[in-house]
Every structure is written in structure tokens, then in C-alpha cells.
């Protein structure tokens, strides 16, 4: 298996489908790039903080999302993005990678064709049930966040993380004119960015969709986001979060999938 070297992510596997490509890092099983017709579909930072995961692409948040539910000293968003994964299978346009953590075994599968599919399967090989939350933390590249809208969430309830997890209801399309950090009770939504669109589809595996953009003040506090970077990205993440966390029984298997389906604007 031939590995390429990414300047910030280290060794990566290149997937190709026609003229399109994706790069998947061994560290974190992190999709660090997806280019379609020569265009970057994912936003990724151009610098990386020492000892921190690379910001951007599709980091794997597992086996917990956000802070650890019991131990605040544990890594934010879990351990998966901080560990080297083992390559289990490799094809020209697909790769499968494995990681073990305690009684949990994870397999991440990335498939590139006319869309990008990322699936995270968790198996509990232990003798006790395990609480599980996760996210496929997708940073979509946009031309200008001020002209972006997200459709498909009208009248959907969400937890507003910036307002103490208050439960609210979306009215109309979502426009990002302020900091946004929400967990929607939805399986999919569509980003409209000028003449193009991207559907983020949980493929029936999730009932929660995280939408996040830090805007000006918060992004300025991140050492790995350059000035104005917040204008060029929007996170839309298939997740098990908020009301949608899972309890994995001994021997049980659960899969979280995100399908990124690009197309032209039709509405």
C-alpha cells in the first residue's frame, strides 16, 4: 500500500474516482480533503496547533461527542481523532480502517464515487453496556458564509448549545448571520452555496444533525483559524448527540453514516 505525505496530517491514503479524489489520514482516520472537479468540497485549516488534531475535513468524534460525560480531563470529542488507525481494506476508491478502545471496536469506511460516504461502525465486545455518542464532524467549504442557507430544517426542533441547550424550533431556512452551535432533530439537510448545493444525509442512521460556525469572535480565539476563515466553512455533522446518544449492549453493533451528495441548486 502506497502512502502519501500530507504536510499537516502525516501519512494519507489517496482515493480516486475519475478526476475526483479524497485523502484519508492514518491519524484519526481523518478525511482531510475531498476534491470534486478540481474544487475543494471540504474546508481545512492551513496550520495546526502542536499536539492538537488538524481542524477541518471530517474528523471522527468517538466514542463521545463534545466533553466526556463523566471525566472533564478526557479529550474533547473523544480519542479517535488522536489515535493511529489500522488499515483493514484498501481499494482504489474506498478504504476501511480499524481502532480498538477498551471494549469498543470501531471501523471507519470511506467510499468515493459521485458522492462521498463515510460510515463509522462500533461493536461492543465487552460484557457491559456502553454509552456512546459520536459525530462525523464535516467542515463543508463555502464561498461566503454570508450568502449560504441551509434548507430542510424548517419547523425542526433543535438544542441551542449557545443558550444552555434550550429547546427551540427552526423557522424557515437557516442563515448564518451570527455564531451557530445547534443540534437539530433531523437526519439530513441541504446546504445551498450560490449555484451549488450539498446534501448531508445520515442515511437513516442518525436523528441528530449538528450545525456549527464560530463566526468572528470565537474563531479569532482559535490559533489554527486564520482571519476570515469562518466565512469559508460551515460544519454540518451527522451525529449521535443531544437526545440521540446510544446505549450499546454487549455484542451489539451500531453504524453512523454520512453521505455528502453534491449537486446544483434547484430551489
How confident is the model over 203-212, as pLDDT tens digits? 999 999 999 9
Q: In this structure, what C-alpha cell is assigned to residue 28?
A: 484519526
Q: What's the confidence (pLDDT) of residue 265?
A: 74
* pLDDT exceeds 70 at position 166: yes
Share of the chain above pLDDT 70, in %: 99
| Backbone torsions φ then ψ of 32, nearest 5 degrees | -100, -10
Percent of the chain with pLDDT over 90: 95
Please tell me the distance from the alpha carbon of residue 37 to that of residue 253, in angstroms, as a whole number. Answer: 36
Q: How far apart are CA 203 and CA 256, in angstroms?
A: 9
Average confidence score pLDDT of the chain: 96
Q: Is the dihedral of CA 154, 136, 47, 114 positive or negative?
A: negative
Task: Quick: pLDDT tens for 119-157.
Answer: 999 999 999 999 999 999 999 999 999 999 999 999 999
| Cα 28 off chain centre by | 12
CA 259 to chain centre: 11
| 266 pLDDT tier (thresholds 50, 70, 90) | low
Rg value, the chain, Cα? 18
Is the whole-model pTM more than 0.95?
yes
With a CB cutoff of 8 Å and minimum separation 6, the contacts of 177 are: 146
- CA distances, 147 to each of 63, 183, 192, 196, 197 (Å): 34, 22, 9, 12, 12
Dihedral sign from CA coordinates of 182, 162, 80, 45:
positive
Cα→Cα distances 43→141, 143, 246, Å: 4, 10, 29
- Sign of torsion, CA 72 75 78 79? negative
pLDDT in tens, 14-41: 999 999 999 999 999 999 999 999 999 9
Please give the CATH number for the structural domain made up of 4-264.
2.70.98.10
Say whether pLDDT at 73 is over 90.
Answer: yes
pLDDT at 2 over 80: no
When pLDDT is averaged across residues 186-196 and rounded to a whole number, the result is 96
Amino acid at each position: 500500500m502506497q502512502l502519501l505525505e500530507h504536510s499537516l496530517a502525516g501519512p494519507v491514503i489517496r482515493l480516486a474516482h475519475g478526476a475526483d479524489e479524497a485523502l484519508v489520514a492514518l491519524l484519526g482516520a481523518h478525511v482531510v480533503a475531498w476534491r470534486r472537479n478540481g474544487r475543494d468540497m471540504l474546508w481545512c485549516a492551513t496550520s495546526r496547533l502542536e499536539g492538537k488534531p488538524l481542524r477541518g475535513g471530517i474528523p471522527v468524534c468517538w466514542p463521545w461527542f463534545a466533553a466526556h460525560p463523566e471525566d472533564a480531563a478526557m479529550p474533547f470529542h473523544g480519542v479517535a481523532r488522536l489515535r493511529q488507525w489500522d488499515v483493514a481494506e484498501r481499494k482504489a476508491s474506498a478504504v476501511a480502517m480499524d481502532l480498538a478502545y477498551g471494549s469498543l471496536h470501531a471501523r471507519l469506511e470511506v467510499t468515493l464515487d459521485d458522492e462521498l460516504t463515510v460510515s463509522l461502525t462500533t461493536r461492543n465486545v465487552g460484557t457491559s453496556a456502553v454509552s456512546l455518542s459520536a459525530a462525523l464532524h464535516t467542515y463543508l467549504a463555502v464561498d461566503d458564509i454570508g450568502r449560504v442557507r441551509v434548507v430542510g430544517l424548517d419547523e425542526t426542533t433543535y438544542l441551542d448549545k449557545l443558550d444552555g441547550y434550550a429547546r427551540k424550533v427552526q423557522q424557515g431556512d437557516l442563515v448564518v448571520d451570527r455564531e451557530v452551535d445547534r443540534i437539530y432533530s433531523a437526519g439530513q439537510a441541504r446546504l445551498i452555496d450560490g449555484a451549488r448545493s450539498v446534501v448531508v444525509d445520515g442515511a437513516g442512521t442518525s436523528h441528530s444533525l449538528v450545525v456549527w460556525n464560530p463566526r468572528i469572535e470565537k474563531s479569532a480565539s482559535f490559533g489554527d483559524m486564520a482571519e476570515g476563515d469562518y466565512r469559508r466553512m460551515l460544519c454540518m455533522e451527522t451525529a449521535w448527540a443531544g437526545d440521540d446518544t446510544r446505549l450499546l449492549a454487549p455484542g451489539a453493533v451500531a453504524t453512523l453514516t454520512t453521505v455528502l451528495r453534491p449537486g446544483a441548486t434547484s430551489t
